[in-house]
Every structure is written in structure tokens, then in C-alpha cells.
């Protein structure tokens, strides 16, 4: 019985992997079919890369004494800080975009 479960899990992971690769392949194919769309995508990915680099630079690698018992390294601490900073920046941008859209709707009428 346990062997059947292992086979089922392996097949599930395989199908998820194939589905993910197919989605990425067709997404990339669609981007390169339309040059205007490709340009927008490259700008968006570039902006995200800039935010990630900025977040990494701003993140602290300090490990507090209370976290040393969990064997947290300085690099892991820096990556967690980068993730949090990225989340904060993207959240602020999303909220700012929503507010800008709503205010521009009010003044355009």
C-alpha cells in the first residue's frame, strides 16, 4: 500500500512539473510572438529585478541572539529581510496604484 502512495506522489510531482514547464513555455512563446508585448514584459521584469536588488542591498544580515538556537546564518537572515522588504515595496506600490486610479477616476468625470 505504501508503495502505491509513493508512486502516486511521484506521478503527481511529475504532472505538476510538466504543467509548470508547459505554462512557462507557452508564456515565453506568446511574449516573442508580439514585439510590443515583449517590450512591456522586459520592462516589468527589469523593474522587478531592480526592486529585488534594492531590497537585497537594504536588508540587514544581523542575526539576533534569540535566533542563534535555530542555526540561522547571516545569509539566510539577509534573504528573509530581502523578501520582507520586497513584499513591503510591492505592497506600497500596489496600494499607491489603487489610490491613484480611484482619484483619477473621480477627477476625470
CA–CA separation, 6 vs 69, rounded Å?
Answer: 34
Residues 81, 87, 92, 97: is their CA dihedral positive or negative? positive
**Intra-chain end-to-end CA distance of the chain, in Å:** 66
Cβ neighbours of residue 61 closer than 8 Å, sequence gap 6 or more? 74, 75, 77, 78, 81
CA–CA separation, 12 vs 18, rounded Å?
Answer: 10
pLDDT value, residue 19: 98
pLDDT value, residue 10: 94
pLDDT value, residue 34: 81
Q: Are 82 and 59 in contact (CB under 8 A)?
A: yes
pLDDT digits (tens, 9 = 90+) for 3-45: 878 899 999 999 999 999 999 999 888 888 887 888 888 899 9
Burial code of 8-24, b = ≥16 C-beta within 10 A, e = fewer?
eeeeeeeeeeeeeeeee
pLDDT at position 109 over 90: no
Amino acid at each position: 500500500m505504501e508503495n502505491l502512495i509513493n508512486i502516486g506522489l511521484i506521478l503527481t510531482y511529475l504532472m505538476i512539473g510538466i504543467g509548470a514547464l508547459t505554462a512557462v513555455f507557452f508564456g515565453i512563446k506568446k511574449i516573442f510572438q508580439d514585439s510590443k508585448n515583449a517590450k512591456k514584459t522586459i520592462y516589468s521584469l527589469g523593474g522587478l529585478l531592480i526592486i529585488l536588488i534594492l531590497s537585497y542591498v537594504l536588508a540587514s544580515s544581523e542575526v539576533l541572539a534569540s535566533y542563534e538556537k535555530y542555526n540561522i546564518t547571516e545569509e539566510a537572515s539577509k534573504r528573509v529581510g530581502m523578501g520582507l522588504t520586497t513584499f513591503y515595496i510591492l505592497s506600497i506600490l500596489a496600494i499607491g496604484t489603487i489610490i491613484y486610479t480611484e482619484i483619477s477616476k473621480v477627477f476625470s468625470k
